Amino acid sequence: MAATTAPWAPTTATAVLVLADGTVIEGKGLGARGEAVGEVCFNTALTGYQEILTDPSYASQIVTFTFPHIGNIGANDEDMEDLNPAARHGAVGAVFRAEVTNPSSYRSASHLDAWLRQRGIVAISGLDTRALTAHIRETGMPNAIIAHSEDGRFDLEALKAKAREWSGLEGLDLAEKASSGQSSVWTETPWVWDEGYGTQGEAAMHIVAIDYGVKRNILRLLAGLGAKVTVVPARTSAEDILAMEPDGVFLSNGPGDPAATGKYAVPVIQKLIEAGVPIFGICLGHQILALALGGKTQKMHQGHHGANHPVKDHTTGKVEIVSMNHGFAVESKSLPAGVDETHVSLFDGTNCGIALAGKPVFSVQHHPEASPGPQDSHYLFKRFANLIRERRGEPALAER
């Protein structure tokens, strides 16, 4: 990871990753031509690269995959997680160890290179991703710029300046940009082997999902509970939400700094809590809920990104392996009396879940819908449904 000092780099490299500290890493370019600035993180998942790259929570981030072989199952139209693919919400860049090979999967519809180019994602392969991961672990997630040019010519000084001058994610509200532009009803249910996705039938409850950058699989699991799911934009007022007469409100995942998004989201959530409606939050929704309840959030050193993170559920005493994707976290010590810590990371002890005592309100930091990742935490969707059923005087569902 030695820095290159020449103003131009006409080498065999067709892509470079330039860190804000001036480090220049050369490799082979693929995907979109051009350049993209963002924060570099690493993801330890062994599968699901397409779901990862289309997760809106990765907006303004460059994802380094620690698993060396990426692209070997190609890409398709079923494994995308952003609600509006045309808007291309998700990672701006990708870093791979090995060169992307031709796909070998019956589900493949295109080569990953072509799919990345279509999505506008700038990518680079041939890097020592272990060294880059170690660098992030030691120094934190750096701001950087990734550039791809077929002629191998790069103005390195200009790229260094752009990486150095980028403001970073702190103080940045990205949720509004990642959010839906208008309300819609979601009806797709979870994927079944040899059948694909289903369609939600008669609704047993009505859930309003506030979209801060929601993942499709979250909405599928909500619909799979028999819920009519109405997706609303991030800035929808509490009055408009309550006018829809929801049985429950879901606070979605999303990108950016929760404190920035919280400036307009927190007052809405506080009114919903006062109204007594059951509330469930995930990821950014969890962080904003904590802010609404009087807690604080902080930027993490290296974040949690992967599908193999151990989390303990204090309400059951069980340890789950979960999917994670966040660079901010709720400060456990900031949680006021009456807000219980329900889940905790066994990697570093950071907060992964809260519940409001005496109210049907809870949230988790990890991604129980996975996609990609294990399904250990799917029960949390039934826990949400049971809060709704309890409020309506109906018998509870078995969580597991």
Q: 182: how many CB neighbours lie within 10 A of its CB?
A: 8
Active-site residue among 283, 305, 326, 366?
Answer: 283
Integer Cα distance of 48 and 218 in angstroms: 16
Encode burial over 66-77: b for 16+ CB neighbours within 10 A, e otherwise: bbeebbebbbee
Kindly provide the residue ranges of all beta strands, DSSP E only, lying in the chain, ordered along the sequence.
15-19, 24-31, 34-43, 61-65, 93-95, 122-125, 143-148, 184-186, 188-192, 196-199, 205-211, 227-233, 248-251, 279-282, 297-313, 318-330, 339-345, 351-356, 361-364
Quick check: is 195 catalytic? no
Give burial (CB, 10 Å; 0-12/13-18/19+) of 353.
Answer: buried
Integer Cα distance of 77 and 56 in angstroms: 16
What are the beta bridge partners of residue 313?
318, 343
Active-site residue among 26, 51, 81, 369?
Answer: 369
- Yes or no: say if 399 and 382 are a contact pair by the CB < 8 Å rule: yes
Quick check: is 367 catalytic? yes
Among positive and negative, which fits the CA dihedral 19, 24, 25, 31? positive
Integer Cα distance of 166 and 144 in angstroms: 8
Quick check: is 41 catalytic? no
Helix/strand/coil for 145 = strand
Residue among 283, 258, 285, 259 at smallest CA distance from 272: 285
Active-site residue among 89, 304, 309, 367?
Answer: 367
Active site residues: 283, 367, 369
